[in-house]
Amino acid sequence: MKKILVANRGEIALRVMRTARKMGIKTVAVFSEADREAPHVRFADEAVCIGPPPSNRSYLLGDKIIETALSLGVDGIHPGYGFLSENAAFAQKVQDAGLIFIGPDPYAIEVMGNKLAAKDAVKGYDIPMVPGAESAISDVEEAQEIARQVGLPILIKAAAGGGGKGMRIVEHEQELPAQMERAISEAQSAFGDGAVFIEKYIASPRHIEIQVLADSHGNVVHLFERECSVQRRHQKVVEEAPSSVLTPEVRAAMGQAAVMVAKACRYKGAGTVEFLIDEHLNFYFLEMNTRLQVEHPVTELISGVDLVEQQIRIARGETLSFTQDDLHIRGHALELRVYAEDPYDNFHPSIGKLEVYRRPRGEGIRVDDGFEEGMDIPIYYDPMIAKLITYGETRSAAIHRMLEAIEMYQIEGVATTLPFGKFVCQHEAFTSGHFDTHFVQHYFNIEALKESNREEGLYAALLALQLYTEEKKKLHIPEVGGSNWKYFR
């Protein structure tokens, strides 16, 4: 592969191009009229405007993107996440055009793109699943029967769902008919597929997912877990690796299960197998995301593996150059998704211009972003400005570094989730590791947010930092260096 086209925008386009450049591969950016000045466009060796701002007239135009690739002598297309990344028909067209799709085969995308098909595919592999319906249901009586079997509360989910959308909790039987009707119509309008199914609602779950890598020669490894339990609207905001609760035994069992899921769909490339775990560390398969995940950097930091480089190597047909035994967890990493959203106003998108934009810098701090000072946050796309990632030898070191980085990050012109990150990193439930997916629901409110972002809070955090720095000196904790840092700016 000598030249790749990145069919995406923002931080992920830039992230992919950086690794491509490191590997001596030329890059092509495609962009919409809203992204003319975007860093991913300027970074690429070549860039082509493919249409007006709305994504269905630009970033989702698969045929136009393939045409562009062919006309520029590209050999491979990297889809990033979102947009066309989990579109099996697009992956097929890329292959039919004689290009390499940097991702799994269309078959795996198709199977895992539907939560019911995914469950069906992994059935024979002894993988624990959330109790519930095994096929789509549209009949209220059938739903009531399943609800009685698994016990309330239940969750009605869209088979084609994603991005935290299309889920409805039912706590009382009388709500079931109305919730089902809503779930079906939501699924139809959001995903063009009204199929819904039922899962038992796990009361106090943690979201823990396993990163896998599979080559085209049948070798599959896992790169441990990421914990993504801090969510709002079923969508992740803070992620970390490793999880603070897994024992080595459960980690190994989940890793093994994830490898089996990958084998079940003849997976190729980098993928993520998502699980929920309950208070007793029982784990249940949720779904597989057949692409690079937003939160992949935390895995890169603790494993020292550049996941994009592996995606490209695997797409070129190379054999994995390491085995499971070669992989080890080193240190701890956290990621905060810095969205242009106002945590003081129910996480409403806050659109505007980045009047001031200064990134934090320093050891153990990585910022993956796609903006520069003075740029507008386009209204057409996901309002994520950046991912702020920190690394430390221990979990508390990574948390302290996150607080330090949040203080250093200067963003003016739009509201962001930075104060929320500060709230999380100072909250006892988070620092002690005793939290679940209801963290926001249980602990978050405006008063608590204000409290944690008051000056006293700031001083407390700085004091803790100072104590930590002194302690670190006393303990002679080595400064972070070596292989984990090669992906940093």
Closest CB 446 distance from Mg ion, rounded Å: 28
**Of the ranges 14-22, 154-162, 418-426, 459-467, which one interacts with ligand ADP (CB under 6 A)?**
154-162
Q: Smallest Cα–Cα separation from 78: which of 301, 313, 318, 335? A: 313
Q: Does 81 bind ligand ADP (CB under 6 A)?
A: yes
CA dihedral 55, 61, 62, 67 (to 10 degrees): -130
Residue 289 has phi, psi (to 5 degrees) of -100, 120
Chain residues 371-400 in contact with ligand ADP, contact rule CB under 6 A: 382
Q: Per-residue x/- mask for Mg ion, residues 231 to 270, rule CB under 5 A?
A: ----------------------------------------
Q: Smallest Cα–Cα separation from 401: which of 343, 361, 341? A: 361
Closest CB 393 distance from ligand ADP, rounded Å: 26
Query: 79 Cβ partners below 8 Å, 6+ apart?
Result: 7, 8, 85, 87, 90, 91, 101, 102, 103, 291
Binder to ligand ADP among 68, 289, 310, 417 (CB under 6 A)? 289
Closest CB 267 distance from ligand ADP, rounded Å: 16
Q: Which of Mg ion, ligand ADP, none lies near 431, with the C-beta cut-off 5 to 8 A by kind? A: none
Q: Which of ligand ADP, Mg ion, none lies near 294, with the C-beta cut-off 5 to 8 A by kind? A: ligand ADP
- Report whether 283 contacts 248 (CB < 8 A): no
User: Which residue of this chain has its Cβ atom nearest to Mg ion in the complex?
Assistant: 274
Q: Does 12 bind ligand ADP (CB under 6 A)?
A: no
- Report whether 201 contacts 147 (CB < 8 A): no
Q: Which is nearer to Mg ion, 105 or 274 (CB)?
A: 274
Among the listed residues 226, 232, 291, 401, the single catalytic one is 291
Rounded to whole angstroms, the Cα distance separating 162 from 190 reads 9
Binder to ligand ADP among 26, 232, 236, 366 (CB under 6 A)? 236
Q: How far is CA 334 from the centre of its chain?
A: 13
Whether 316 sits among the annotated catalytic residues: the reply is no
3-state SS class at 254: helix
If one counts every other C-beta atom within 10 angstroms of the C-beta of residue 54, the result is: 14
Rounded to whole angstroms, the Cα distance separating 348 from 207 reads 24
Binder to ligand ADP among 162, 177, 352, 457 (CB under 6 A)? 162
Catalytic residues: 291
Binding positions for ligand ADP, rule: CB under 6 A: 81-82, 130, 155, 161-164, 167, 199, 201-202, 205, 207, 231, 234-236, 274, 276, 286-287, 289, 293-295, 382, 437
